[in-house]
Amino acid sequence: MNSIFGAVLASVLGVMVIGIAAEAVVQPNYPEKAGFLPEVTETPGGGGAATPAGPPDFGRLFADPAQLEELIARGQRVSAQCTSCHTFEAGGPNRIGPNLSTAFGNTPGTHGGFEYSEGMVAHGGRWDYLALNDFLRSPSTVVRGTKMAFAGLRNDQDRVAMIAYLRSISPNSVPLPAALPEAAPAEAAAPAEGAPAEQAAAPAPH
């Protein structure tokens, strides 16, 4: 028994000595936090910052009768997601939101029989092409405090189609905006700074 006890004790002491020696040779260095997130610095691309798209070209989109007819049909389909709060037929009742049969070309906050928010009543202006485009994209951004909980139509084509549909059912007339000018072709590259003009120009044929 003494021999067995001595062997076990010697083994334990040997393991302890090896552990102490290992810590002396290899000193662990743990970070204060278990993990870290690398700091990433965004580098702008060669084209620079992205430029936000301009307003839709209503003057060009609505001037083509065939295209306008397609937009109206699409807008009517888009309006289906609004029917839980609005009606669209002429003389239709108000629901959670007002009837929209006369919305296009009308003054905000003036449809009869509906109690609008103070922000909508004070908004002023007229629901023309650009005003509706901005509002339908993000109602709560354009009219602070509006009762309209709808997040907005972020799809440009759906939004333009919705405006085409509202325009088609409204008795109000708003002149169509002029078509936006088409983008000009890129200018020819200028000669390098300091280079002689005759070197920049192509040689004339002989």
Task: Give 157-170 pLDDT, tens digit per residue.
Answer: 999 999 999 999 99
Residue showing tokens 């260095």: 29
Copy the structure tokens of residue 90.
């002429």
How many domains, in total, are found in the chain? 1
Confidence bin at 80 (pLDDT 50/70/90): very high
Tens digits of residue pLDDT in 112-142: 999 999 999 999 999 999 999 999 999 999 9
Residue-level pLDDT at 140: 93
Q: Return d(Cα 112, Cα 94) in angstroms, integer.
A: 9
pLDDT for the residue numbered 172: 97
Task: Look at residue 140 and tell me if it is in a domain.
Answer: yes
Tokens in use for 121?
């009543």
Quick one: pLDDT at residue 19?
A: 58
Helix axes 129-137, 156-169, angle to 10 degrees: 130
**Confidence check: pLDDT of 88 > 90:** yes
Contact, 77 vs 66, CB < 8 A?
A: no
The confidence score (pLDDT) of residue 185 equals 60
What pLDDT digit, counting tens, does each position of 3-42 carry? 665 665 666 566 565 656 555 555 545 444 444 433 434 4
Q: Could you tell me if residue 144 is inside a domain?
A: yes
Q: Does 205 score more than 70 pLDDT?
A: no
Whole-number pLDDT of residue 155: 96
Which CATH number does the domain housing residue 155 bear?
Answer: 1.10.760.10
Range of the domain at 69: 58-169
Is the pLDDT at 79 greater than 80? The verdict is: yes
Please return the burial class of 74, using the count of CB atoms within 10 Å of its CB with bins 0-12, 13-18 and 19+. Answer: middle
Q: Which of 150, 15, 157 is nearest to 74 (CA)?
A: 157
Q: pTM for this one?
A: 0.65
Q: 32 in a domain, yes or no?
A: no
Q: Is residue 52 part of a domain?
A: no
Rounded CA-CA distance 144/162 in Å is 22
Residue 9: inside a domain? no
Contact 176, 59 (CB under 8 A): yes
Domain assignment present for residue 160? The answer is yes
Q: Which two tokens stand for residue 73?
A: 């049909």
In terms of Cα–Cα distance, which of 97, 81, 68 is closest to 160?
A: 68
69 contacts 63 by C-beta, under 8 angstroms: no
With a cut of 50, say whether residue 200 has pLDDT above it. no
Q: Does any domain span residue 196? A: no
Q: Distance between CA 167 and CA 81 in Å, rounded?
A: 18
**Residues above pLDDT 90, as percent of the chain:** 58
Q: What is the mean pLDDT of the chain?
A: 79
Which pLDDT belongs to residue 54?
79
**In the numeric block, which tokens belong to residue 153?**
């139509």
Question: Has residue 175 been placed in a domain?
Answer: no
**Residue 103 CB coordination number (10 Å):** 21
